[in-house]
Amino acid sequence: MLTLAVALSSSVLAQDTREQQIAAAQAEKVKTLGDEAPSGAETTIVRVMKSPLLAGTGGVFPWFGSVYEGTSFGFGGGYLRRMPRRSELVAVAGLSINGSTVLRGEYTAPRLARGTIQPFASVEWARANGVSFYGLGNETITAQRTDYNFDPLTIKAGLGFRPASLILLTASVERLGFRTEVTQPALAFSAGPLPSDNSSLQFNGVRVGAAFDTRTSPGYSTRGTLLRATTAFYSETSHQPYDFQQSQLEAVQLVPLVREQFVLAFHALATFTDGSGGDSPPLALLPYLGGGATLRGFGTRRFVDRDSLLLTGEYRWRPSRYVDMALFLDAGQVATVREQMAWDRLHTSWGIGARFHGPGFMALRLEYARSAEGARVVFTTGGPF
């Protein structure tokens, strides 16, 4: 009947009362007392959780991501130092599976003017191996593929100004230099000096932008609107004929249904590039379609030209608060001039995917996409838009 646990011993069994029986068991335990302390597993988990990556504190952390789009999965290490007033310094070194590398340093300065102004500066050098190029235009064929290596060095400084919680204005200046090196024979380069030549170019750039964003987080959201416009002017420093202007318009609309059980997501992205005074924008900096975030059923950078238009629609459903599923349809085209764009020139791809995310970030995206050129699997860390 009695279910009070007792330690078995002759002294326990010899008791005349319940209290004596329990007291005897307690006396037995005195012989085996120890410290109340964490287990080895708990100690290990605590150590892991206190790492800078997970705890958000300063120090060294492992890094996973993309060195440069289309160069396979990358990994490496970083260092984060948090400083007063939300300022921080981040340094990352990464290496991708195909040997591409990146070195990046970012400094976010203390906020000014009651937190409305955020100065920042960054420097990044990448060595991207095997960047694909299929030629210019919307009708290129896969057999035209050429690979080149690309090593941009970007030094940037700027300000973010948030006059209202939903509005962000940005301005930055940058110094961009790069060199390309063709590694696979070029078959059909019809325009532009790069990547078909191996010369170096240096640009001074100025970029301004404005965004209206009601999403809960740029990294992951289930509702809200993003309207964004940026324009940038690049001037070749040695007066070679490659000055250009590039503008981008983007709209995202997330429509939650049934308390976010479903989300209809729409994305439009248009990029326009113009050479200044007849100059030619460098091919390596032209907009492209194809890859994990644009036309997902096509190879990375499958279509390149001065202007591009991407339209995406997704039906998302949420089997978990940490997992989204999506059926998606991408449509896009590139053109040398805007007037060439037409509905019947759109390339399309569709697919299904799963996204693993936190409240405000996308940790992992796994998608299967199909297009007229076959099927592709997307495995990446960021969201599609």
Partner 1 sequence: MPAIRFSIRFLLAGVLLASIGVLSAVGAGPTFFPDDPIWTDPISQDVKAATRYEPDLVFQTVANLFGQPGDPVLGQRARNINTVDEVPDGPFYVNRAGKLPLTPEIVARASNTSDGPAAGPWTVISAKSDGITPGFTIRDSSNGLWFIKFDPPGWPGMATGTEVVAAKLFWAVGYHVVEYHIEHLVPSNLRIGAEAKITPSGEAERRMQPSDVEWLLSKAMRDANGSYRVIASRAAPGRPVGRIRFDGTRADDPNDIVPHEHHRELRGYSVFAAWLNHVDAKGINSLTSLVTENGRTFIRQYLLDFGSALGSGGIGPTELWEGSEPLVEDGKDITRRAVAFGVLIPEWRTTKFYVAPSVGRLPADPAHWNPASWRPHITNAAFRHARADDTFWAANKMTFITDAMIDAAIKEGQFNDPPSEQMLAKMIRARRDRILQTYLTDINPIVEPALAGDGRLTFRNAAVDARVAAAPSGYEASWSVFDNATGQSRPIGTSTAATTSIQAPSLPAADFIKVDLRATGGANEAWSRPVSVFFRRADGWSLVGFDRMPGAPAAAQARQP
Using CB under 8 A, which of the segments 116-124, 154-162, 320-328, 365-373 binds partner 1? 320-328
- Shortest distance in whole angstroms from residue 162 CB to partner 1: 18
Residues 220-259 vs partner 1: string with x where CB under 8 A? Answer: --------------------------------------xx
CB count in 10 Å sphere of residue 249: 15
Q: What angle do CA 241, 243, 245 make, to 5 degrees?
A: 150
- Shortest distance in whole angstroms from residue 220 CB to partner 1: 16
Task: Specify whether the CB–CB gap between 304 and 298 falls below 8 A.
Answer: no
Q: What angle do CA 268, 273, 277 make, to 5 degrees?
A: 155
DSSP code of residue 339: G
Whose structure tokens read 């080895």?
40
Task: Specify whether the CB–CB gap between 29 and 7 falls below 8 A.
Answer: yes
DSSP sequence for 9-24: -HHHHT-SSHHHHHHH
Tokens, residue 196: 């078909």
DSSP sequence for 201-212: EEEEEEEEEEEE
Kindly compute the dihedral angle of the four CA atoms of residues 38, 40, 41, 45, in this order, to the nearest 10 degrees: 70
By beta-carbon proximity to partner 1, the closer residue of 88 and 181 is 88
Residues 70-99 that bind partner 1 (CB under 8 A): 82-84, 88
**Does residue number 2 form part of the binding site for partner 1 (CB under 8 A)?**
yes
**Does residue number 42 form part of the binding site for partner 1 (CB under 8 A)?**
yes
**Does residue number 114 form part of the binding site for partner 1 (CB under 8 A)?**
no
**Does residue number 165 form part of the binding site for partner 1 (CB under 8 A)?**
no
- Shortest distance in whole angstroms from residue 54 CB to partner 1: 9
- Alpha-carbon distance of 379 to 69, in angstroms, equals 12
- Shortest distance in whole angstroms from residue 165 CB to partner 1: 14
**Does residue number 366 form part of the binding site for partner 1 (CB under 8 A)?**
no
- Shortest distance in whole angstroms from residue 27 CB to partner 1: 7
- Shortest distance in whole angstroms from residue 41 CB to partner 1: 5
Task: Specify whether the CB–CB gap between 271 and 248 falls below 8 A.
Answer: yes
Residues 275-314 vs partner 1: string with x where CB under 8 A? Answer: ----------------------------------------
Element (H, E) at 239: none
By beta-carbon proximity to partner 1, the closer residue of 25 and 109 is 25
Using CB under 8 A, which of the segments 16-24, 198-206, 247-255, 267-275 binds partner 1? 16-24
Binder among 7, 169, 186, 206 for partner 1 (CB under 8 A): 7
DSSP code of residue 109: P
Question: Is 29 in a helix, a strand, or coil?
Answer: helix
**Does residue number 17 form part of the binding site for partner 1 (CB under 8 A)?**
yes
**Does residue number 185 form part of the binding site for partner 1 (CB under 8 A)?**
no
Task: Specify whether the CB–CB gap between 296 and 349 falls below 8 A.
Answer: yes
- Alpha-carbon distance of 357 to 363, in angstroms, equals 5
Binder among 210, 229, 325, 364 for partner 1 (CB under 8 A): 325
Kindly compute the dihedral angle of the four CA atoms of residues 232, 64, 312, 223, in this order, to the nearest 10 degrees: -90
- Shortest distance in whole angstroms from residue 86 CB to partner 1: 8
Binder among 62, 321, 338, 374 for partner 1 (CB under 8 A): 321
Binding footprint of partner 1 on the chain (CB under 8 A): 1-8, 13, 15-19, 21-23, 25-27, 29-30, 33-42, 45-46, 49, 57-58, 82-84, 88, 258-262, 317-323, 325, 327, 354
